[in-house]
Structures are given as structure tokens and as C-alpha cells.
């Protein structure tokens, strides 16, 4: 039944023009970000043209140049690479930690579930951007700190999603059959329950990558993200605002 549903979902996707266009744009953006050092080698610390400071868009500089004479188009290109790396790494960390905690909480219940639930509620009590700001303020404004801060913000989302899936799956017949045959808790969790929770987790992860990228850009705009000369979209917006409104 699941294979039939997946086949129909794939058929609906490939019949959708907007879906195919979105997939093409996403793959193109990812490839450009990954291949940036090969397609256009660039060092933002040294590749500057002070004679072309704050020049308007032209054939040589498609988006113009900034106050240091750096090509804005190239900075945006490499800034997307930085922002996407933060989004993917932070969501991967949040997915891994959150799903494991959710599996444990939903399967074993009891005091362990209550403790993880308290942790989840504490993390969700703070607005995500404020929690990320607090973490980066303590650890320092570096790329690794931003990844960790955004990853921590994602953890409670995956805990709740995974826990809900486990609670609905742990009483299913195939789980009860595996338990009656003497399967260990680890085998039941990772071979029977976790595969049934993969689809919702993948959907949530794809949505969280965009949110994590925006949060990383927000930290950069506030001066708490990746520090110069590393290109980052939020930091670039802050620099452009300073130039426009001295």
C-alpha cells in the first residue's frame, strides 16, 4: 500500500510544472553553491579593487561593488554557500539529536519522557531568534557558534514530531509482534519504528533548512553571525544599510 501511495505521489509531482521548476531551481542553486570555488575562485580577504569602490552595476560588476571594492555578485554567490552550509549542518544536528531524544521519550515513556518533555518546553518557551542570540552571545560570533545556536533551536521541533510518531507506532501490530518474538528495544526502535517516522522527519527537515538559513542571516545582520571577511548574506545586508544610511 505504501509503495502504491509513493508511486502516485511521484506521478503527481512530475505532472506539476511548478514542482519541476522548483526542483530545477533548487538543484541549480545547490550546485552553484557547491562548485563556487571551482567555477569562480575568490578570496574575499584579498580580491579587492579600491579604485572601483561603490560602483554601479555594470558588465564587469553585475551587482556593483561594496565599500571595499569587492564584487557584490561574487559576495552574494559565496554568501549563499555560507548560509546554506549553516542551514544544512544545523538542521542535520537538530534532526539527529531531536529524533533520538524523541525516539527515547516516546518509546520508554515514564520519567525519561517527562524529563525530555521539560527540556522541550523550556527550549520552546523562548522565541527561536532570541535563544539563538543568547547562545551566540555566550559562545562568540563564529560560524561554528551560529551552526550550534541554530541547531539547538531546531532540536525541540524534531523531538515533538518524532515523539508523536513513536506514540502512534509503538502500539501497532508489527511492533507488538516484534516484541512478542523477543526483539530488543533497540532493534524495535531502529528497525521497526524509525523507518516509519522517516517521511515526516524528511519533510520537516526540508522546511527547517529554509528557516535555519533565515535565522543565520538574522544573526549576521545583528552582527552576531559569521565575521568578515567571510561573505554572509545577513552581514552583507547590514553593511549595505550602513552605506545607504551613514
pLDDT tens, position by position, 83-134: 888 889 999 999 999 999 998 888 888 888 889 889 898 888 888 888 899 9
The band of 45, judged by pLDDT with boundaries at 50, 70 and 90, is low
Instruction: Let me know if residue 84 belongs to a domain.
Output: yes
Q: What is the pLDDT of residue 10?
A: 57
Q: Evaluate whether 48 touches 70 at the Cβ level (below 8 Å).
A: yes
Specify the number of domains making up the chain.
1
Q: What is the mean pLDDT of residues 46-67?
A: 77
The predicted structure's pLDDT at residue 8: 55
pLDDT at 244: 67
Q: So what's the pLDDT on residue 143?
A: 86
Domain-located, residue 191: yes
Q: Is residue 222 part of a domain?
A: yes
Q: Give the pLDDT of residue 68.
A: 77
CA distance 49 to 71: 9
Looking at residue 12, what is its pLDDT?
63
| Residue 101 contacts residue 155 (beta carbons within 8 Å) | yes
Which pLDDT value is given to residue 89?
Answer: 92
Residue 139 domain flag: yes
Q: How many CB atoms lie within 10 A of CB 56?
A: 8
Is 199 part of a structural domain of the chain?
A: yes
Q: Is the pLDDT of residue 202 over 80?
A: yes
In a domain, 182, yes or no: yes
Among 121-135, 154-168, 219-233, the minimum mean pLDDT is found in 219-233
Q: Which runs of E-coded beta strand occur in the chain? A: none
User: Between 59 and 122, where is the model more confident?
Assistant: 122
Mean residue pLDDT of the chain comes to 81
Domain limits for position 140 = 78-246
pLDDT surpassing 80 at residue 166: yes
- pTM for this model (two decimals): 0.81
Residue 1 has pLDDT above 50, yes or no: no
Query: Is 226 within the bounds of a domain?
Result: yes
Whether residue 61 is contained in a domain is answered as no
For residue 2, the model assigns a pLDDT of: 43
Whether residue 218 is predicted with pLDDT greater than 70 in this model: the reply is: yes
Specify the pLDDT at position 56: 79
- Residues 206-232: what's their mean pLDDT? 85
| DSSP codes, 107-157 | HH-HHHHHHHHHHHHHHHTS-HHHHHHHHHHHH-SSHHHHHHHHHHHHHHH
Indicate whether 181 pLDDT > 80: no
Judged against a pLDDT cut of 90, whether residue 223 lies above it is answered with no
CATH of the domain at 147: 1.10.3720.10
Please tell me the predicted confidence (pLDDT) of residue 157. 92
Amino acid at each position: 500500500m505504501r509503495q502504491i501511495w509513493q508511486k502516485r505521489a511521484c506521478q503527481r509531482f512530475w505532472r506539476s510544472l511548478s514542482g519541476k521548476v522548483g526542483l530545477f531551481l533548487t538543484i541549480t542553486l545547490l550546485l552553484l553553491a557547491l562548485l563556487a570555488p571551482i567555477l569562480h575562485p575568490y578570496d574575499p580577504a584579498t580580491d579587492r579593487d579600491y579604485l572601483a569602490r561603490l560602483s554601479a552595476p555594470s558588465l564587469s560588476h553585475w551587482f556593483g561593488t561594496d565599500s571595499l571594492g569587492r564584487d557584490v555578485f561574487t559576495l552574494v554567490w559565496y554568501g549563499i554557500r555560507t548560509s546554506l552550509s549553516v542551514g544544512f549542518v544545523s538542521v542535520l544536528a537538530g534532526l539527529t539529536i531531536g529524533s533520538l531524544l524523541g525516539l527515547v521519550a516516546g518509546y520508554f515513556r515514564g520519567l525519561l519522557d517527562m524529563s525530555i518533555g521539560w527540556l522541550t518546553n523550556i527550549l520552546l518557551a523562548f522565541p527561536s531568534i532570541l535563544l539563538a542570540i543568547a547562545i551566540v552571545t555566550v559562545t562568540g560570533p563564529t560560524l561554528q557558534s551560529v551552526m550550534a545556536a541554530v541547531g539547538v533551536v531546531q532540536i525541540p521541533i524534531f523531538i515533538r514530531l518524532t515523539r508523536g510518531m513513536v506514540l502512534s507506532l509503538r502500539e501497532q501490530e508489527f511492533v507488538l509482534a516484534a516484541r512478542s518474538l523477543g526483539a530488543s528495544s533497540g532493534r524495535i526502535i531502529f528497525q521497526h519504528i524509525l523507518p516509519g517516522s522517516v517521511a515526516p522527519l524528511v519533510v520537516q527537515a526540508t522546511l527547517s533548512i529554509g528557516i535555519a538559513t533565515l535565522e543565520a542571516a538574522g544573526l549576521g545582520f545583528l552582527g552576531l553571525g559569521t565575521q568578515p571577511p567571510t561573505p554572509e548574506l545577513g552581514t552583507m545586508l547590514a553593511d549595505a544599510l550602513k552605506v545607504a544610511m551613514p
